Amino acid sequence: MRKNIVAGNWKMNTTVPEGVTLAKEVNEKLAAITPKCDVIICVPFTHLCPVNEVINSEKLGLGAENCADHAKGAYTGEVSAAMVASTGATYVILGHSERRQYYGETSETLKEKVALAFENGLTPIFCIGEVLEERENGTAFDVVKKQIVDALFHLSAEDFSKIILAYEPVWAIGTGKTATDDQAEEMHAFIRGVIAEKYGQEVADNTSILYGGSCKPGNAKALFAKPNVDGGLIGGAALDAESFMGIVTAF
- Footprint on this chain of ligand PGA (rule: CB under 6 A): 9, 168, 173-174, 212-215, 233-237
Q: Compute how many other C-beta atoms are within 10 angstroms of the C-beta atom of residue 154.
A: 12
* Residue 47 annotated among the catalytic residues of the structure: no
What is the C-alpha separation between 111 and 126, in angstroms, rounded? 11
DSSP letter assigned to residue 137: T
Active-site option among 47, 65, 96, 130: 96
Nearer to ligand PGA, 86 or 175 (CB): 175
- Find the shortest distance in angstroms from Cβ 206 to ligand PGA: 23
Contact 94, 66 (CB under 8 A): yes
Strand, coil or helix: 6: strand
Q: Compute how many other C-beta atoms are within 10 angstroms of the C-beta atom of residue 1.
A: 7
* Residue 112 annotated among the catalytic residues of the structure: no
Contact 26, 59 (CB under 8 A): no
Among all residues, whose Cβ is closest to ligand PGA?
235
- Find the shortest distance in angstroms from Cβ 39 to ligand PGA: 15
- Find the shortest distance in angstroms from Cβ 135 to ligand PGA: 15
Strand, coil or helix: 214: coil
Nearer to ligand PGA, 140 or 199 (CB): 140
- Find the shortest distance in angstroms from Cβ 213 to ligand PGA: 5
Nearer to ligand PGA, 74 or 102 (CB): 102
Nearer to ligand PGA, 10 or 199 (CB): 10
What is the C-alpha separation between 225 and 33, in angstroms, rounded? 20
Contact 136, 179 (CB under 8 A): no
Active-site option among 98, 105, 134, 168: 168
Q: Compute how many other C-beta atoms are within 10 angstroms of the C-beta atom of residue 210.
A: 27
- Find the shortest distance in angstroms from Cβ 82 to ligand PGA: 25
Using alpha carbons, select from 120, 190, 117 the residue that is nearest to residue 160.
Answer: 117
Cα 222 to Cα 3, 49, 164, distances in angstroms = 18, 35, 21
Using alpha carbons, select from 224, 225, 145 the residue that is nearest to residue 234.
Answer: 224
Nearer to ligand PGA, 99 or 199 (CB): 99
Residues known to be catalytic: 96, 168
